[in-house]
Chains A and B, each alone.
Chain A
Amino acid sequence: MKTVLAKLRLYWPLTKSLQTGLLLSTGLTGFMSARCPVMHWMMLLALAGSLFLAISGSTVLNMWRDRDIDAKIKRTANRPIPSGRVSPNAALRLGLILSVLGVGWAMLLSPLYGLIVFAGLFLDVVVYTFWLKRRTPWAIVWGGVSGGMPILAGRALGIGQIDWIGILLALAVLLWIPTHIMTFSMRYHDDYRRAGIPTFPSVYGFQTTRVIIATSSLAAALAIGLAALGLGTAWGYLRLLVVLSGGLLALAIGSLARPSERVNFGLFKYASLYMLSTMLLLVMEAI
């Protein structure tokens, strides 16, 4: 038992639990937006399990692929692979096993759901991480599309097809990703430059990046608002959504008008909180 716990402690950081948890919450929201009140707890647990495995699998494969970059950056040098606590081969095996289990389980639940989960994993690992991340800052678009797959998958599992609300929800996540990623790449600009990763701040400059962040924040808020309207969300929850979106926009515009590291990092943190809050809000409304 002690050995299992020790292994779990060793491998757990490879899954980036906070990021995985946030994506998982979007998948659960997508499902619950269609099936609440949830009567099929086994289905919900199967969704959570399969998505967790697939998202964790792709994250571990990212960690395996980016181990050389992580080793060059102080912030990431202590991660399990670059620090030598986990061997690259062990991480690769774990990533592949988790991915296959996650996609396989998803396919068994529903072929459409499984296909979307597979698409998310493929776009994240193959297109984003292996192909584009080291070549162009625009890679984050594909990272964003991949990030929108869990909520689309959850909704598709809930209603048995892809509908416009599911696409809008996925679009909202895709448009939210630049706020999340670009604020982070501005904060750790020097690290990314040292590691040779092209980012929007390094290629287009900080001010252009801030304009993109503000624009995409507005677009994400509009997409999620339209999706909420499509779901028939009550006025009270819509008011709260407007308030939360207002906070996001105010910070994005504040970052444009009076740029500072504090506002930038505040926007990064608020964006995560915003996504989690809006997901909770949509679930509470559905209940």
Chain B
Amino acid sequence: MKKMSVFDRILLLATGLLAAYQVVEGVDGLTTPPLVSYSVAFGVLLVAGLLLIILGFEVLDSPLVVIVSTVIPLSLSLGLVWEYLTAWRIPYLLFAIVGFLAIVVTRLTKTGRLATFVLAAVHGVAGLIIFILPIALSVTEQAKPGFALVGVGGALIGVGGLLLSFLKAGKPILSRKTILKVLPGLLLLMTAAFVAGLALA
């Protein structure tokens, strides 16, 4: 297991501070549900960053990591849907709840390919929403151009999720060492893109 360097810790601390800033600042003009959704996403990001600093990369070996890391894209995408796709609020809320529970159950009962399929489906839908929706809204001028940065963050979270998922599935796209080397920087870039995108929305 790669030992965490001081530089890695600084990057993770910066990620945590950015996430903490977003939790405190919130987003202007939001109703309670999307505000809670965003706060949950950035809150999990903050605590995950702190735990990585404290426990090192070994913490990624825990089966709970997959479950916890699902919360971030699901709650972020729920916030976006609630804010911009009002007709889909309740269906997507149901999808998020059922999807999360399905991941918890399949991960804890270890049902092999089904667990991987559920994870890929739920992550895939949430990730695509975070990637496509902000960019589409910006391009169609329903949101300010800067909001597209949230989509960039969505792309980065997708890359990070894929790298980690395949690594945990035993079929790594890149070597474990390389993934752990880029992970702190990826997390920081992703968080910075989300925070900047929400501020510029």
Contact = CB atoms under 8 A, between A and B. Distances in A.
B43 A270 contact: no
Contacts of A265: 55
B54 A243 contact: no
A237 B24 contact: yes
A262 B55 contact: yes
Given A236-B24, A254-B64, A270-B50, A243 B55 contact: no
B58 A262 contact: yes
A247 interface: yes
Contacts of A247: 46-47, 50-51
A114 B25 CA distance: 39
B50 A250 contact: no
A214 B64 CA distance: 19
A266 B54 contact: yes
Interface residues of B, number: 17
Label chain B's interface by main secondary structure.
Answer: helix
Interface string A252-287: 001000100010011001100100000000000000
B23 interface: yes
Contacts of B39: 239, 243
Interface string B48-65: 001100110011000010
A240 interface: yes
Nearest to B20: A240
B26 interface: yes
Given A266-B54, A266-B55, A243 B26 contact: no
A243 B46 contact: yes
A262 B59 CA distance: 9
A270 B50 CA distance: 8
A262 B61 CA distance: 12
A186 to B, nearest CB: 16
Contact of B47 (A237, A239, A246, A258): A246
A236 B47 contact: no
A244 B24 CA distance: 12
Contacts of B47: 243-244, 246-247, 250
Given A243-B43, A243-B46, A246-B47, A236 B26 contact: yes
A174 B150 CA distance: 42
Contacts of B24: 236-237, 239-240
B23 A246 contact: no
B42 to A, nearest CB: 8
A132 to B, nearest CB: 31
A180 to B, nearest CB: 14
A240 B23 contact: yes
Contacts of A258: 64
Contacts of A237: 24
Nearest to A235: B26
Contacts of B58: 262
A236 B55 contact: no
Interface string B10-52: 0000000000100111100000000000010011001100110
A250 B44 CA distance: 11
B20 A266 contact: no
Interface in A225-248: 235-237, 239-240, 242-244, 246-247
Interface of A: 235-237, 239-240, 242-244, 246-247, 250-251, 254, 258, 262, 265-266, 269-270, 273
Given A236-B25, A262-B59, 5 more contacts: A236-B26, A237-B24, A243-B23, A247-B50, A251-B51
Interface of B: 20, 23-26, 39, 42-43, 46-47, 50-51, 54-55, 58-59, 64
Q: Which 4 interchain pairs have the tightest Cβ spacing?
A: A243-B43, A247-B47, A236-B24, A269-B54
